[in-house]
Structure 1
Amino acid sequence: MSGTGAPERRGGPSLSPTGQRTFLVVDAILVVTFAVLLVLHLVNSAAAPSTPAAAATPTPTSSAAPETTPEATAPSAPADNAALAEFVLPSGNIWCSMTQTSATCVIGQFSFAPPTPPPGCTGTVGPVFTVTAADGAAQPCVPEVPPRPDDAPVLEYGQASTIGEMTCYSSRNGATCRHNPTGEGFSVARAGYTTL
């Protein structure tokens, strides 16, 4: 305590009125700058182009239920019938290829008993199904099972593909392909297959 009787001053030095105004102006400029940067960031984030998820070549979804029981008859073609020369069902377990006069489907995993190979067959019979305009439906002896194509589009359940005289259908009951003029074809699913 001083001997003059003047009150003691505690704390830091106080700002003059001009210093207080300068401090408030600087604070206001910082707040406005932050707000402008935040708005620009939000606008740029919203305007950034999003990358479509495999738009050109969708991949099979692992969550899709596998095909269980084959169709007894070919379903009717939907109005938005595609024209895919090659496709995969959503489960990824069945893949097909088509031409003007033939259709071939391969099933990766199945629980049905494959037919006995014909005499002279040195390959395998069971996972490959074909239908042609000239010969109808068959399970040919193949030297090796064709691999699933990496870039084939997915034919969603309920959709169909028609090329020339052939139509193939995708459903939760598997793949069904037929020769349209004769109605001959096949339906294949994990648990079995039928000929039409």
Structure 2
Amino acid sequence: MSRRGIVVPVVALFVVLPSGCSQGQQPVFPATATATATVTVTRTVTATPSPGPVAAGQFPPQPGRDAKNVALRDFVTPSGNITCTDEFENLSCVVEKADFATPAKPADCDVDWAANEIDFSVPLTTLGACRGDPPPAVLLTNAHKLEYGTVNTLKHGVLCLSEERGLSCWASQSRHGFFVSKSVFAVF
């Protein structure tokens, strides 16, 4: 499986607006303590503070005491728009309908481009994938519904919380993660 992208350190919560990819790379957004975003490629990625329901300080979320806890390898949000699977060493999610900006297919990607695939392998969050096979989450036809208000505990200490506003997934140790909905993709 071929992967390409751009690496961008992230300080706080940002909406990611990739402008493209350079040869041999795909957008990768690690959350680090660096105060600036630096990219060593021919094109840059622009990140701006996220609007609306995603505000700094809200992430990772704090599930309520009455939150239901489950352990599902494959799951889909109640809206059916976001499907995820805990594959190999990372969490892979696909957003069926996305109104947020997704990266364009790089010129050097000679296989399928999955612009709305999110891969999360602590501490990296990747949006878009150049791959010769479909994203694993696309192939799930019978994934379990992750009801709103439910926390899913995945391997490697990753937690996902399904809420009406969207899906938050984060590493319990480092607190790095992402939020995604139909209209917003953000890393924290």
Q: TM-score range by the shorter chain?
A: 0.5 to 0.7
Q: Does 1:151 align with 2:142?
A: yes
Q: Give 5+ residue unaligned stretches, structure 2.
A: 1-51
Alignment partner, residue 131 of structure 1:
120
Alignment partner, residue 75 of structure 2:
87
Structure 2 SS opposite 1:129 = strand
Question: Structure 1: which amino acid aligns with 2:76?
Answer: V
Query: Per-residue CA shift, 1:26-66, capped at 9, x if unaligned?
Result: xxxxxxxxxxxxxxxxxxxxxxxxxxxxxxxxxxxxxxxxx
Question: Structure 2: which amino acid aligns with 1:82?
Answer: V
Distance 1:99 1:70, change over 3 A: farther
Query: Per-residue CA shift, 1:91-131, capped at 9, x if unaligned?
Result: 11111112585212111011122123456333324311111
How far off is 1:190 after superposition?
Answer: 0.7
Instruction: Please give the TM-score of this superposition, normalised by the length of structure 1.
Output: 0.56
How far off is 1:70 after superposition?
Answer: 6.4
Larger radius of gyration: 1
Question: Structure 1: which amino acid aligns with 2:96?
Answer: G
Please point out which of 93, 98, 102 is paired with 2:86: 98
Alignment partner, residue 189 of structure 1:
181
Matches within 5 A, 1:11-26: none
Alignment partner, residue 76 of structure 1:
62
Alignment partner, residue 3 of structure 2:
none
| Distance in structure 2 (CA, Å) of the matches to 1:148 and 1:100 | 15
Q: Which stretch of the first structure deviates more once superposed, 176-185 or 111-120?
A: 111-120
Asked if the contact 1:83–1:162 (Cα under 8 Å) also holds between the matched residues in 2, the reply is yes
| Distance in structure 2 (CA, Å) of the matches to 1:166 and 1:148 | 22
How far off is 1:142 after superposition?
Answer: 3.7
| Distance in structure 1 (CA, Å) of the matches to 2:146 and 2:71 | 10
Q: Which stretch of the first structure deviates more once superposed, 186-195 or 118-127?
A: 118-127
Matches within 5 A, 1:41-56: none
What RMSD over aligned residues (CA atoms) do the two structures have, in Å?
2.4
How far off is 1:148 after superposition?
Answer: 5.2
Is the strand fraction higher in 1 or 2?
2
How far off is 1:74 after superposition?
Answer: 2.5
| Distance in structure 1 (CA, Å) of the matches to 2:139 and 2:183 | 19
Instruction: Please give the TM-score of this superposition, normalised by the length of structure 2.
Output: 0.58
| Distance in structure 1 (CA, Å) of the matches to 2:89 and 2:172 | 10
| Distance in structure 2 (CA, Å) of the matches to 1:92 and 1:82 | 18
Alignment partner, residue 172 of structure 1:
164
Give the total of aligned pairs: 127
Alignment partner, residue 161 of structure 1:
152
